[in-house]
Structure 1
Amino acid sequence: MSEIGGFALVLHSHLPWLPHHGTWPVGEEWLYQAWAHSYLPLVDMLRRLEDDGYRDVLTLGVTPVLAAQMDDPYALRGMHDWLGNWNLRAQYAAVRWRGDDPRLREVAAAEYRASATALTEFETRWRHGFSPVLRPLVDGGVVELIGGPATHPFQPLLDPRVRAFALTLGLDDTALRVGHRPEGIWAPECGYAPGIEDDYSAAGVRRFLVDGPALHGDTAFARPVGNSDVMCFGRDLEVTYRVWSPKAGYPGDTAYRDFHTYDHPSGLKPSRVTGRHVAPHDKKPYEPALAADAVRRHAQDFVDTVAQRLRDLNERHGRPGLVVAAYDTELYGHWWHEGPAWLEAVLRGLPKAGVNVTTLRGAIDAGYVGDPADLPASSWGSGKDWRVWDGAQVADLVEANAALQRDLLDLVDTLGGPARDATLDQAAREALLALSSDWAFMVTKDSAADYARRRAKVHFERYAELSSLLRAGAPTRAAARAADLRRSDGVFGGLDARALRTHE
């Protein structure tokens, strides 16, 4: 069967820095849930595909701040404890539901099997962190790894010096962990400002993602941006939204496991969606066979949708085109329990339909490249502009972040010496953590907004404390406080604040 065009799946794996910053309902628990239900199954799937001879399976974005957490000894211990607790909760549910509906007992048994498998996998393959697990998949050409700025800041709102510093730090950190410096990035929130491609080019970045509307929906080819040699890829929303859109998508099917309905004594999720307007206590027990049927149906629908889209593009352009479907990794498994099974069925089914499954790098090599494009200021957020991160609801955060950047740059320019300074490094580290795009997103979307505001405030105040001590001529006290802060916020050990300076 001749190939009808290319398909590039891009997964964006990201969580803000969470160790030592709360546990439940938002905090470390967020990390451990995504780790258990998304990252472990994804790696397991990729290993199976590798064993079956698949290469260039997908483009995997892993933000430096997420990779750092999954290599962190404290988080590794916490994750091991969490998996053990998951196993105990499943055993408790089996006893609690002993005389209930047999479908509930099967839920408990399935959770016990899944937690036991995850524990074994974690103890045998993950005990030294994520990087040793990820590197063979990158070395073997199973995935293309893309990175990003260190703490996932919304780049259009950064001072150019801070922007370059965060990006270079993130790319260097990935190279240190995995042995490959990414040539592609998932720009945080797909945030773009005209001219940012020049920064990318200077940092060695050759390709990045934008949302489809930034290209007016013309996403059939990678396109050089402006006069640069940097390529942008646009998400094909016509295809992407088959899976998940602001209003609909496969995970809402009545047979899939309901994300929001808990059995609170055990912490398990025993119900299926049942119906959009069905109250939690009226939802029916989860049935794996029904969910498996839905996975097969939706995987085939997606394969058919991609194939038809590529035939349409071929007819329109007179040559094979490309479909880019891009999602948060955490959708698969954490939010959508059946997502990993659906992913594997799709990745196995597309080649049989004549689709060239490839990576962003592979798409360029295959010639899915179009004419240069001039991009507008954009993001993948509401309105496809910057309102989520620069709107009225977060105006105070935007103002505080701008002031923080000005103070940071002045601090390193006026007080920094020729030698590396661990106190200045920690001040820069706290500043980058305060600048994470997650805080504004969570506030605007009213998703754990109190936690987000508290986190932004904590890091801003920690930065301000170090800056004040240094400016007051108290370097000994500043150094002691910086050492204390590193115990909880010691991410990116290679961070060197001297790189922020405008002079040697």
Structure 2
Amino acid sequence: MTASEGTFCLVVHSHLPWLPHHGSWPVGEEWLYQAWAHSYLPMVDLLDRFADEGKRDVLTLGVTPVLAAQLDDPYSLRTFHDWLGHWQLRAQQASTLWRGDPLLRELAAAEHRTAMRASEALETRWRHGFSPVLRSFVDNGTVELLGGPLTHPFQPLLDPRIRAFALRGGLDDTALRIGHRPEGIWAPECGYEPGMEVGYARAGVRRFMVDGPSLKGDTSQARTVGDSDVLCFGRDLEVTYRVWSPKAGYPGHAAYRDFHTWDHRVGLKPSRVTGKTVEPPDKAPYDPALAADTLRLHVKDFVDTVVTRLRELRGRHDREPMVVAAYDTELFGHWWHEGPAWLEGVLRALPEAGVRVTTLRGAAEAGHVGGAVDLPASSWGSGKDWRVWDGEQVADMVDANAALQERLLKHVQPGTARDAVRDQAVMEAMLALSSDWAFMVTKDSAADYARRRARVHTERFDALISSPDRERLAAEYRAQDRPFGHLDARNL
């Protein structure tokens, strides 16, 4: 059907901090494996189906360099394979423990089938890591790829030299892995301070995401930023929040699988949400047929929401409108079991409703570009400001990171030859500056783990610039944490 209602862009942002060799359960490698199994594998399956049908510009996919490094890492590939084997064993055990309930017995069988398919995919499609898979989608135009800085730092809190280094390094890393240097980025946490567009332009970035309030809610067009020709695209919160918001959204429906309720004997989730006030032991068993019925209603509801929003925008601005909805990739599958099926349903139903589905690049090429705008300091976090990463709860971490950056610029000076110790020192500093640690502390989500990770990498940096044993230490740290083999301290 020819699009008549307007344009819709789906942006999904894929990111986890560096987790290999840093604990397993409840936080650490388990987090990576769950997201890999329940979000990244299903996302690839979805994109494979669209690619096989010859579909182009299906969605805009952000993949952070630090996540790509984990999904390519030989250690991670090997240990994820082991994890998938344990998943099969846990499903077999569940089939015995749950045999008295027909719904749960079938759920155990379905878990086993899914784990088997995941193992087969890892041994075939994914055997050389994620990058060859991702490159196929970029090469054939199924997706537009967004890159980003190396370890997902909150850029407004970085010294400009370190900010530029992290961004260049991240874009270089994606070019090495994919064969394409991204023209667009997902700025970590959508963090922005006035003037950052100048650095983006120097790095070859042509477009980036901001949250809707940064544009005072007028997200129906991309806008050039300041005096640059760099475009910002704003998240339409009226549409985006229909799915997932700080307070509500589809995944909380009573029929969907409950993310928070576990049968700890087998490490599987047997229940549906049932009700927000229902205690875990009283939740009803998960019913896939009931969830599928609800999913169809939520696909229709979202499509209706998009169409209504596009018509409203057309009436308000008297031009062809655009809606951009943006989410974390991990929402689909990891947090919301039914999310991948919902996503595919929406992407197929929107064109049938007369909506053009395309990427950010496609929207810009179609002319969804307005005049220049001066953006405020902003993020997509609580309050749409910097409080999550620069607030009272993390003031000590902010001070520590500022001091770390001063030491980094003082002690890591350019040299004539590449130096493995300096390279690893910069790597440790980049890992310490990940935005995830402050986020986890502010949100009280595994805060102790986050503080420990920031502290460990900072202490390692200090050891590498001061210890007489730094050559041995660099080799030891490099064996655990070397996501970016190309990282060269001389570029700082």
Fold match by TM threshold 0.5: yes
Amino acid at match of 2:5: I
Amino acid at match of 1:162: I
TM-score of the two chains, using structure 2 as the length reference: 0.99
Separation in structure 1 between the aligned mates of residue 205 and residue 93 of structure 2, nearest angstrom: 50
Aligned to 1:462: 460
Question: Which of 427, 431, 446 is 1:448 aligned to?
Answer: 446
What are the residue-to-residue correspondences of 1:179-218 with 2, within 5 Å? Answer: 179-218=179-218
Separation in structure 1 between the aligned mates of residue 77 and residue 363 of structure 2, nearest angstrom: 36
1:488 paired with 2:489, answer no
Separation in structure 2 between the aligned mates of residue 96 and residue 272 of structure 1, nearest angstrom: 18
What are the residue-to-residue correspondences of 1:384-395 with 2, within 5 Å? Answer: 384-395=384-395
What are the residue-to-residue correspondences of 1:10-89 with 2, within 5 Å? Answer: 10-89=11-90
- How far the C-alpha of 1:458 sits from its partner, in A, is 0.3
Aligned to 1:113: 113
C-alpha RMSD of matched pairs (Å): 0.7
Amino acid at match of 1:73: P
Gaps of 5+ in 1: none
**What CA deviation, in whole Å up to 9, does each residue of 1:249-292 have, x standing for no partner?**
00011000000000000111010000111000000000000000
What are the residue-to-residue correspondences of 1:287-436 with 2, within 5 Å? Answer: 287-413=287-413, 416-436=414-434
Please give the secondary structure, in 2, of the residue aligned with 1:487. helix
- How far the C-alpha of 1:2 sits from its partner, in A, is 4.2
Which segments of structure 1 move beyond 3 Å, counting only runs of 4 or more? none
Separation in structure 1 between the aligned mates of residue 204 and residue 444 of structure 2, nearest angstrom: 36
Please give the secondary structure, in 1, of the residue aligned with 2:356. strand
Please give the secondary structure, in 2, of the residue aligned with 1:144. strand
What are the residue-to-residue correspondences of 1:131-142 with 2, within 5 Å? Answer: 131-142=131-142
**What CA deviation, in whole Å up to 9, does each residue of 1:329-384 have, x standing for no partner?**
00000000000000000000000111110000000001111111110000000100
Please give the secondary structure, in 1, of the residue aligned with 2:22. coil
Separation in structure 1 between the aligned mates of residue 146 and residue 421 of structure 2, nearest angstrom: 31
Amino acid at match of 1:135: R
Gaps of 5+ in 2: none
Aligned to 1:155: 155
- How far the C-alpha of 1:53 sits from its partner, in A, is 2.5
104 and 2 in structure 1: CA distance in 2 versus 1, 3 angstrom threshold: closer
Q: Work out whether residues 47 and 142 of structure 2, in 8 Å CA contact, stay in contact via their aligned partners in 1.
A: yes
Give the % identical residues: 73
Separation in structure 1 between the aligned mates of residue 4 and residue 74 of structure 2, nearest angstrom: 46
Separation in structure 1 between the aligned mates of residue 375 and residue 304 of structure 2, nearest angstrom: 31
Amino acid at match of 2:438: A
Amino acid at match of 2:341: A
Separation in structure 2 between the aligned mates of residue 410 and residue 229 of structure 1, nearest angstrom: 34
Q: Work out whether residues 432 and 457 of structure 2, in 8 Å CA contact, stay in contact via their aligned partners in 1.
A: yes
Q: Work out whether residues 3 and 356 of structure 2, in 8 Å CA contact, stay in contact via their aligned partners in 1.
A: no
432-441 vs 318-327, which moves further: 318-327
Q: Work out whether residues 191 and 379 of structure 2, in 8 Å CA contact, stay in contact via their aligned partners in 1.
A: yes
Separation in structure 1 between the aligned mates of residue 86 and residue 425 of structure 2, nearest angstrom: 36
1:249 paired with 2:249, answer yes
- How far the C-alpha of 1:417 sits from its partner, in A, is 2.3
Question: Which of 445, 461, 470 is 1:478 aligned to?
Answer: 470
- How far the C-alpha of 1:441 sits from its partner, in A, is 0.2
Separation in structure 2 between the aligned mates of residue 328 and residue 207 of structure 1, nearest angstrom: 18
Separation in structure 2 between the aligned mates of residue 257 and residue 231 of structure 1, nearest angstrom: 39
- Count of aligned pairs between the two proteins: 491
- How far the C-alpha of 1:218 sits from its partner, in A, is 0.4
Question: Which of 434, 437, 445 is 2:435 aligned to?
Answer: 437
